[in-house]
Copies of this chain bind each other. A is one copy, B any other.
């Protein structure tokens, strides 16, 4: 998505070879006009999948998932992290596989909001090692529902999450895939359609 790549180059800040800050338009501060176009792009890619629900992760996935759910005319659900004291009733729980922390985090969703009849589009803002995305897939499949597709705004193509999830057979589509970032000059290299 050309507009998104241009925005990442203009306003993203390369903090290291692995860390990109996009807090001026994608998380923390949200450029709603850009998010509307991102939502439209996901809608066009997944509109024919008979989606019944859009699932995302709190916090930073919510503003991305919102316009997608609006265009698809389905409810949106966000999984909660950790042990949410405000949640009663039965719930699905999945662990977030992690490379860095000793204790894996948990994601939770009330059983009321996912059923075996659902066809779910999973949306998130950033994909790196894929732990968060795998935990969302796990919630959907534990509920007996179908993962109809996965949409990511920015994929760090130099980390393994995207590769691993595509290898499992899921239809994962990222609007921008970064192959390389140089913290010395701030340059960001995107994967082109020919590379995919």
Contacts and interface: CB of A to CB of B under 8 A. Distances in A.
Contacts of A73: 32-33
Interface in A28-51: 28-33, 35-36
B66 A110 contact: no
A32 B63 CA distance: 12
Contacts of A29: 75-77, 110, 112-113
Interface of A: 15, 21, 23-24, 28-33, 35-36, 58-59, 62-63, 66-67, 69-70, 73-78, 80, 86-88, 109-110, 112-113
A31 B69 CA distance: 9
B110 A28 contact: yes
Contacts of A30: 66, 69, 75-78
A28 B66 contact: no
Given A24-B112, A110-B23, A63 B36 contact: no
18 contacts: A23-B86, A23-B110, A24-B112, A28-B78, A28-B80, A29-B75, A29-B112, A29-B113, A30-B66, A30-B75, A30-B76, A32-B66, A32-B69, A33-B70, A59-B62, A59-B78, A59-B80, A62-B66
Which of A29, A58, A69, A70 is the most central at the interface, judged by chain B CB atoms within 10 Å of its CB?
A29
Contacts of A69: 30, 32
B110 A32 contact: no
Nearest to A34: B75
A47 to B, nearest CB: 15
A35 B63 CA distance: 13
